[in-house]
């Protein structure tokens, strides 16, 4: 039973890698860089995107994204609540619901993203942000064709999360620590959190911010702009045949 | 592809139901009532259990559980951080790691719980609390043999969660709204959250509390005690053959 389960899982992940490479090739051809943005439910993915795509706090503070044209692919089990919020900012948003699958898939996979490619006007954007389903486990297992992985960990979730969900924290190039405006009201040691992060992903890039107050969000806009300006390397590890 | 996926999923869930019924029969024979406790990562499952099992805030406030003997089954992808915390309270705790499965399963299923039955001294407890993996999607799809389902939704996660994860909110008999001590520092409308909850699960029982300050946790202890004192109905919907 167990052995079979592992073999089926391996097959599923192999197939996923193949389709992820095909997605990546299509994104590369269109000159679009892709960020896979992940977090637990309610960690603030959509609010952070609202901040950086909506021009900050209405005071023109944010210019980190400059002329970069951003599109968003919204992954949700059901509904289009986040897509509706983001489309108010006049950003091209495509909604992907995972509901028709396994009674509601808990993650995006490469094939779901592939099914949405036709609906996205890739020639009109430079950077695609894929907002994954809120979950700290399975999204980390499925590449979807992204150039970079970023995750948001909210300080309200506790210091132990890197140790409890190590794959997620290990496979991301950037860890955003959100909701720092709540730090004075929590028993949360930032030092211990960062030590835990360092234990599972030594030297991982991280930034502290509050999507709610706007503090520190400029750094995330800058990071997105840097990703948008990278040239895809001709041979990347995840683009190699298995 | 899609049709096949749905069929495989249906088979998996059918097999799970069969094993869940077997678990339930074993729990019934042992006279143990079972609560499946679910939430997103960091919503406060372990801290709430610490409060109600550890006697509240050290001031003997909590007596809701009375003489009920409680055991805990801890579900985690990796590690035993929560089990270690709870075992300090001299409560029998069994750790179940989902890691050997599908690169880290994002939920407990009935077969995993079944594999742990031998390790639990069921004759020494009246109530088993199963702390599921932190995730708002898949745990709701897999019954594990429980009598009741409870979930924790933290106010820091936002008002929209019942609408975004409807299956989870719909299949629970109790919704615990945690971290209410943070309400003054958030843009969270409790009224809107409860309206969203009512939309997916009309009339669902809910309670407001703060595991951190101890406010309202007595009600959760009372609820657990009531579950412990119920007599299993001779024919329950989920105990019927499919």
The pLDDT tens digits for A93-132 are 999 998 765 457 899 999 999 999 999 999 999 999 999 9
Taking only residues 63 to 102 of chain B, the set having a beta carbon closer than 8 angstroms to any beta carbon of chain A reads 76-79, 81, 100-102
Q: CA distances (Å), B179 to each of B110, B112, B152, B153, in order?
A: 30, 30, 10, 9
The pLDDT tens digits for A35-86 are 999 999 999 999 999 999 985 444 444 566 878 999 999 999 988 999 999 9
Residue of A100, A137, A183 for testing the chain B interface, max B β-carbons within 10 Å: A137
The confidence band for B55, taking pLDDT boundaries of 50, 70 and 90, is: low
Residue of B100, B137, B140, B166 for testing the chain A interface, max A β-carbons within 10 Å: B137
* Chain A / chain B CB contacts < 8 angstroms: 127
For residue B109, the model assigns a pLDDT of 95
Q: How large is the average pLDDT for residues B195-213? A: 97
Mean pLDDT of chain B: 89
Alpha-carbon gap, residue B61 to A163, rounded angstroms: 33
Q: Considering chain A, what percentage of its residues have pLDDT values greater than 70?
A: 86
Our CA-based measurement puts residue B175 at a distance from the nearest CA of chain A, in whole angstroms, of: 16
Q: How large is the average pLDDT for residues B181-198? A: 97
C-alpha of A39 from chain center:
7
Asked if the C-beta of B136 comes within 8 angstroms of chain A's C-beta atoms, the answer is yes
Q: How large is the average pLDDT for residues A184-212? A: 97
The confidence band for B59, taking pLDDT boundaries of 50, 70 and 90, is: very low
For residue A18, the model assigns a pLDDT of 96
ipTM attached to this prediction? 0.87
Q: Quick check: B164 and A13 CB within 8 A? A: no
Confidence check: pLDDT of B74 > 50: yes
Asked if the C-beta of B159 comes within 8 angstroms of chain A's C-beta atoms, the answer is no
Task: Confirm if B52 and B225 have CB atoms less than 8 A apart.
Answer: no
Residue of A165, A180, A213 for testing the chain B interface, max B β-carbons within 10 Å: A165
Most confident range, picked from A145-154, A229-238, B104-113, B222-231 = A145-154
Q: Quick check: A136 and B41 CB within 8 A? A: yes
Q: How large is the average pLDDT for residues B60-84? A: 84
For residue B67, the model assigns a pLDDT of 85
Q: Tell which residue, A212, A131, A200, A208, has the closest CA to residue A161.
A: A200
Structure tokens belonging to residue B235: 């024919």
Q: Which of A8-17, A84-93, A148-157, B172-181 is the least confident region?
A: A8-17
Q: Quick check: B79 and A104 CB within 8 A? A: no
For residue B63, the model assigns a pLDDT of 63
Alpha-carbon gap, residue B193 to B191, rounded angstroms: 5
The confidence band for A234, taking pLDDT boundaries of 50, 70 and 90, is: low
DSSP one-letter code for B29: H
Q: What is the rounded end-to-end Cα distance, in angstroms, of chain B?
A: 26
Q: How large is the average pLDDT for residues B15-36? A: 97
Q: Tell which residue, A110, A157, A111, A103, has the closest CA to residue A135.
A: A157
Q: Select from B42, B104, B106 the Cβ nearest to the Cβ of A158.
A: B42
Our CA-based measurement puts residue B235 at a distance from the nearest CA of chain A, in whole angstroms, of: 26
Q: Select from A40, A100, A182 the Cβ nearest to the Cβ of B185.
A: A182
Q: Quick check: A154 and B5 CB within 8 A? A: no
* B19 sits in which H/E element: helix B2-29
Our CA-based measurement puts residue A229 at a distance from the nearest CA of chain B, in whole angstroms, of: 33
For residue B111, the model assigns a pLDDT of 94
Confidence check: pLDDT of A157 > 60: yes
- Which residues, 6+ apart, have CB-to-CB distance to A90 below 8 Å? none
Asked if the C-beta of B118 comes within 8 angstroms of chain A's C-beta atoms, the answer is no
Confidence check: pLDDT of B241 > 50: no
Chain B residue numbers with beta carbons less than 8 Å from the beta carbon of A40 are 40-42, 134
Our CA-based measurement puts residue A186 at a distance from the nearest CA of chain B, in whole angstroms, of: 9
For residue B65, the model assigns a pLDDT of 83
For residue B169, the model assigns a pLDDT of 97
Give the residue ranges of DSSP H helices in chain A: 2-30, 45-53, 81-87, 110-116, 161-164, 166-170, 190-200, 217-229
The confidence band for A232, taking pLDDT boundaries of 50, 70 and 90, is: confident
Q: CA distances (Å), A100 to each of A13, A95, B11, B235, in order?
A: 20, 13, 16, 32
Mean pLDDT of chain A: 89
For residue B4, the model assigns a pLDDT of 59
For residue B166, the model assigns a pLDDT of 94
Q: How large is the average pLDDT for residues B107-136? A: 95
Confidence check: pLDDT of B197 > 70: yes
CATH of domain A2-228: 3.40.50.300
Most confident range, picked from A2-11, A54-63, A76-85, B192-201 = B192-201
């Amino acid at each position: 039973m167990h052995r079979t389960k592992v073999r089926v899982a391996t097959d599923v992940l192999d197939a996923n890698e193949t389709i992820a490479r095909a997605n990546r090739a299509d994104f590369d051809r269109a000159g679009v860089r892709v960020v896979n943005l992940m977090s637990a439910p309610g960690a603030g993915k959509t609010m952070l995107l609202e901040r950086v795509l909506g021009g900050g706090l209405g005071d023109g503070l944010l210019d980190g994204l400059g002329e970069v044209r951003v599109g968003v692919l919204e992954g949700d089990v059901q509904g289009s609540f986040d897509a509706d919020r983001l489309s108010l900012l006049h950003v091209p948003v495509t909604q992907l619901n995972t509901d028709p699958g396994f009674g509601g898939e808990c993650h995006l996979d490469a094939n779901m993203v592939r099914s949405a490619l036709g609906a996205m006007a890739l020639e009109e954007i430079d950077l695609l942000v894929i907002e994954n389903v809120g979950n700290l486990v399975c999204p980390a297992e499925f590449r979807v064709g992204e150039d970079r992985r970023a995750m948001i960990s909210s300080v309200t979730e506790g210091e132990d999360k890197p140790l409890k969900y190590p794959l997620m924290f290990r496979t991301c190039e950037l860890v955003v620590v959100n909701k720092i405006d709540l730090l004075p009201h929590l028993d949360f040691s930032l030092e211990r959190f960062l030590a835990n992060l360092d234990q599972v992903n030594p030297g991982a890039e991280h930034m502290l911010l509050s999507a709610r107050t706007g503090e520190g969000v400029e750094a995330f806009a800058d990071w997105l702009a840097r990703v948008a300006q990278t040239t895809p390397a001709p041979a990347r590890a995840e683009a190699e045949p298995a």
